[in-house]
Structure 1
């Protein structure tokens, strides 16, 4: 790609941890032979995608990710970004970015922005009061800045991993859970709690992005495992549901995000996009969302969408714990420098 072009990738690493070290309640972790296969699989993904900015989820040990980058031949071209002092006892978001593109120092954001209030007395007389007291992300959000070339603006990027759709295990709640009262309903209640948590996280990230991009021309990208589909409420919160314009129309939303999935669908004759398989249901949980500076029809376009790739063949083999593959597809979106405004070259 040319100097001012840019590409983004998202990869869920499926608990990339050093061999024999704990992963959640599994005290034994990955056997050495499976770990070696995981490193080989991850390195092959990195080499094939060759993104300018990789966003990672489910990283435990920074040493393991560095080993994969080294095996991919990216030790010199990319710098790994992991939380300072991260000891591998919890999972985090991480990144790898071309060394010359990184601007400033990254930050990992744990707490929700102070503007976030999720409480209301309702907007019609039949509604009761509601209040959600969450104040932090399940997984810290990584915020960094990149600049493809000195002649381009700096891009703000966020790497995220929202709460899974797996039902919250409420039967471990000693303070209130009763098997007699709640056992038959624990799945429904667990799904509801996971949805509430994921919704709050999406809203918090939306506020953080809005504070940067609204009434500005700052390019912003959101990358990650959002654990929901493109038509979900989670994505609606993040994107603000912009209108995708017809071929010759121009416009763009100042505070909107456009999904790389939809941009690719406008280029394709068939939609085969999926990044996750559960009980034979193929769907897209991993996303790259871009501001109007990357949207073809925007009057304030700086980069045009080139294409999107999804590496997902490994999802059709349910042997991730043996093969070393991941349980999510890896995605790549590429954008070429093509400003819409006259006077910008």
Structure 2
């Protein structure tokens, strides 16, 4: 039977907000807002990027309104037709709104664009009924009752195979400070308070990673279906928060095969790391700040598509970054694309032989 192919992408779209809607109040009291013309430019850039990526399943971050996402999908269809490209339209358009969003002060949610049927979808954000708790036995006292952005879980048809996709956007490294906190203004030189804000962001991001891991475990454990976890983790591949999401590897010399298999059953693997093991060089930079080139957007996959698993059902064939537009804006004279995202996009390409039914 011929191999089936599909691709999965992560795309932080940077503030996809309906035109004329206020968002993110500035320090001077004014608000950010898209004019109709600016919104049209933004939508066109995003749609053109989607046409270049040509991914079957796209997880998007910083989607404030479903209408804006629908506009991107419609513009993508127009660009595909104009270019004469043979790309299917995005018929599945999902928005996962942020519970903290207000009409006059919206917060970023998540989005999904797909070309195959979505079998089910849900989001997790309110953890009040089942908070993430760390005990006080080692000086900790921690309880997370809400994530800053939703966690989206989408069950999809991969083309004769059912898979689960988890879309994440964890808290950024920006200091967790109130808008009116004097430490929020770097000019005040309140370094200790800003350091406390850094720790606050880290603690929140770590809690969100734990909340995500809890959901991921429920999808992975004892389940032969593939799971893909992707999005803007706001941390590098070796960060503790990323490792929490990815899971542990078993001890290499563990003599008990059943224990090893138990670890592998719930471990996730980096698509970028797999690609790099096969390539002399590849650049998966997705964000640049103050001269630091980072990969903070990730695509992780379960053992069903891991190349070292002899019982895998498919393979990661290729990984690609779309990051030519990402520049360090701190440099004077740096070429700026005001309508572009400040993140690069990652696309992973997979293939498999459909199982016998």
Task: Report the TM-score, using the length of structure 2 for normalisation.
Answer: 0.81
Judge which range, 296-305 or 187-196, deviates more: 296-305
- Return 113-122 or 182-191, whichever deviates more: 113-122
CA distance in 2, matches of 1:76, 1:14: 22
CA distance in 2 between partners of 1:173 and 1:304 (Å): 50
Seen in structure 2, the aligned counterparts of structure 1 residues 217 and 234 have a Cα distance that, compared at 3 Å, is same
Deviation at 1:244, TM superposition (A): 12
- Over 3 Å counting, the alpha-carbon distance change for 1:243 and 1:309 in structure 2 is farther
1:164 to 169, 172, 190: 172
Q: Comparing 296-305 with 84-93, which one deviates more in the overlay?
A: 84-93
Q: 2:135 aligns with which of 98, 119, 122?
A: 119
For structure 1, which segment, 2-11 or 63-72, has the greater mean C-alpha deviation from structure 2 after superposition? 2-11
| Count of paired positions | 321
| 1:218 Cα offset (Å) | 2.5
Please say if residues 3 and 148 of structure 1, whose CA atoms lie closer than 8 Å, have aligned partners that are also in contact.
Answer: no
Paired with 2:251 and 2:93, the residues of 1 have a C-alpha distance of 35
Contact in 1 for aligned 2:53/2:347 (Cα 8 Å): yes
Q: 2:51 aligns with which of 44, 47, 52?
A: 47
Q: Residues of 2 paired with 1:166 and 1:84: CA distance? A: 22
The CA distance in 2 between the partners of 1:170 and 1:52, in whole Å, is 39
**Cα distance, 1:116 vs structure 2:** 3.2
1:146: how far off? Answer: 0.6
Task: Name the SS for the 1:192 alignment partner.
Answer: helix
Alignment of 1:1-16 (within 5 A): 4-16=4-16
Aligned-residue offset at 1:90: 2.3
In structure 2, the residue matched to 1:125 is: none
SS for the counterpart of 2:141 is: strand
Tell me the residue number matched to 1:110.
125
The alpha-carbon deviation at position 24 of structure 1 amounts to: 1.5
User: Which residue matches 1:197?
Assistant: 204
- Corresponding residue for 2:225? 218
Q: More displaced, 58-67 or 23-32?
A: 23-32
The 2-side partners of 1:234 and 1:116 are apart by 14
Gap change, CA 1:62 and 1:165, over 3 Å in 2: same
Aligned partner of residue 60 in structure 2, secondary structure: strand
What's the offset of the Cα at 1:344? 6.1
- Residue pair 1:310, 1:329 contacting (<8 A) in 2 also: yes
The alignment status of 1:312 with 2:323, answered yes or no, reads yes
- Deviation per CA, 1:133-161: give whole Å up to 9, x if none: 211111011111012223x2x21111110
How far 1:171 moved relative to its partner? 7.3
Task: Provide the C-alpha distance between the structure 2 equivalents of 1:52 and 1:160, rounded to a whole number of angstroms.
Answer: 18
Distance 2:284 2:171 in 1: 22
Give the 3 Å change call, closer, same or farther, for CA 90–217 of structure 1 in structure 2: same
CA contact (8 A) 2:153 2:164 kept: yes
Question: Which shows bigger deviation, 164-173 or 258-267?
Answer: 164-173
Q: Could you tell me whether the CA contact under 8 Å between 2:149 and 2:170 is conserved in 1?
A: yes
| C-alpha separation in 1, matches of 2:288 and 2:281 | 19
Mapped contact 1:108–1:140 kept (Cα < 8 A): yes
Matched, 1:144 2:163: no
1:17 aligns with 2:30: no
Secondary structure of 1:304 counterpart: strand
- Residue 316 of structure 2 aligns to a residue whose secondary structure is strand
Distance 1:28 1:205, change over 3 A: closer
Task: List per-residue Cα deviations over 1:302-321 (Å, max 9, x = no partner).
Answer: 11011111011111263898
Q: Is the 8 A contact 2:96 2:150 kept in 1?
A: no
Query: Deviations for 1:208-245, whole angstroms, at most 9, x for unmatched residues?
Result: 11122123222111111000000100111111243799
User: What is the DSSP-based 3-state SS (H/G/I as helix, E as strand, rest coil) of the residue aligned with 2:210?
Assistant: helix
Distance in structure 2 (CA, Å) of the matches to 1:171 and 1:272: 36
Runs of 5+ consecutive residues of structure 1 not aligned to the other structure = 123-128
